[in-house]
């Protein structure tokens, strides 16, 4: 008899407690936000092929990158083109872009017109940009098929020179874009 009474009392107390919890309740919610740096891009060094001689046959002038900021890279030629290396050759160097943004973020670089023309006094010369090379010393990471990279991206190019290409200065532009992934 005494045991039955204790069970009933315990059940009552438990019921009473449940009824009190349904009237009010509280817990802690969380909110967060992150302000990130906008991504920016700037050209630090143009792609310059320098001075060279066109020959009786067509050829190319090629600039290869070495991934070193402010460096020239390597210049070579093929076919009938002869490089001029004298003091009056004019500057030649790899192309260099500086990309800045949020540390640890990944981005993708795109050249919308990877092949474009350099125009001047003679027939246009076709220029094809090479794949990017990175110095890996900055704060942004590249993915999406591009090179592992940070702040600086380097590109070379290959310039097609026709036989007896008219002498003179030639220039062209391309569009370089970056976007956070």
Partner 1 sequence: MKKVNQLFMLVALLAGLSSAAIAQTTASTSGHASARVITAIGIQNVSPINWGSLIPGSGGDATQDVSGIGPVTGPTPQPPVTTGGVIAIAQGSMDAIHTSPRGPATFYAYGEPNFTVAITLPAMMDLHRIGNPGDILHVDNFHHNNVGTATLVKLVPSDAVGVLFFVVGATVTVPAGSPRGWYDGDFQVSVAYN
> In the complex, which residues of this chain contact partner 1 (CB under 8 A)?
36, 38-43, 46-54, 61, 84, 86-90, 95, 97, 111, 116, 118, 120, 122, 125, 127, 157, 159, 161, 165-180
Which has the closest alpha carbon to 161: 170, 173, 151?
170
**Nearest approach, Cβ of residue 12 and partner 1 (Å):** 57
Nearer to partner 1, 12 or 74 (CB): 74
Place of tokens 């090379």: 133
**Nearest approach, Cβ of residue 114 and partner 1 (Å):** 11
**Nearest approach, Cβ of residue 137 and partner 1 (Å):** 20
Contact between residue 109 and residue 154 where contact means Cβ atoms under 8 Å apart: no
Measured CA to CA, the distance from residue 141 to residue 15 in angstroms comes to 59
Contact between residue 73 and residue 89 where contact means Cβ atoms under 8 Å apart: no
Nearest 5°: the CA angle 9, 2, 18 is: 10
**Nearest approach, Cβ of residue 164 and partner 1 (Å):** 10
Chain mean position to CA 1: 83
Nearer to partner 1, 9 or 169 (CB): 169
Contact between residue 159 and residue 127 where contact means Cβ atoms under 8 Å apart: yes
Nearer to partner 1, 27 or 88 (CB): 88
Nearer to partner 1, 66 or 119 (CB): 119
Measured CA to CA, the distance from residue 15 to residue 9 in angstroms comes to 10
**Nearest approach, Cβ of residue 43 and partner 1 (Å):** 6
Nearer to partner 1, 135 or 178 (CB): 178
């Amino acid at each position: 008899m005494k045991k039955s009474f204790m069970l009933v009392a315990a059940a009552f107390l438990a019921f009473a407690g449940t009824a009190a919890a349904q009237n009010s309740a509280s817990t802690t919610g969380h909110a967060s936000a992150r302000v990130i740096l906008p991504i920016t891009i700037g050209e630090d060094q143009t792609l310059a092929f320098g001075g060279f001689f066109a020959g009786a046959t067509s050829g190319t002038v090629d600039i290869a990158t070495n991934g070193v900021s402010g460096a020239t890279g390597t210049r070579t030629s093929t076919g009938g083109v002869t490089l001029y290396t004298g003091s009056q050759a004019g500057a030649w160097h790899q192309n260099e872009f500086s990309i800045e943004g949020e540390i640890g973020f990944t981005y993708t670089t795109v050249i919308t017109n990877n092949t474009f023309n350099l125009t001047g006094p003679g027939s246009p010369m076709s220029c094809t940009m090479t794949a990017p090379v990175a110095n890996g010393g900055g704060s942004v990471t590249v993915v999406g098929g591009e090179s592992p990279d940070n702040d600086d991206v380097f590109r070379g190019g290959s310039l097609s020179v026709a036989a007896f290409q008219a002498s003179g200065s030639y220039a062209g532009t391309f569009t370089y874009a970056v976007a956070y992934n």
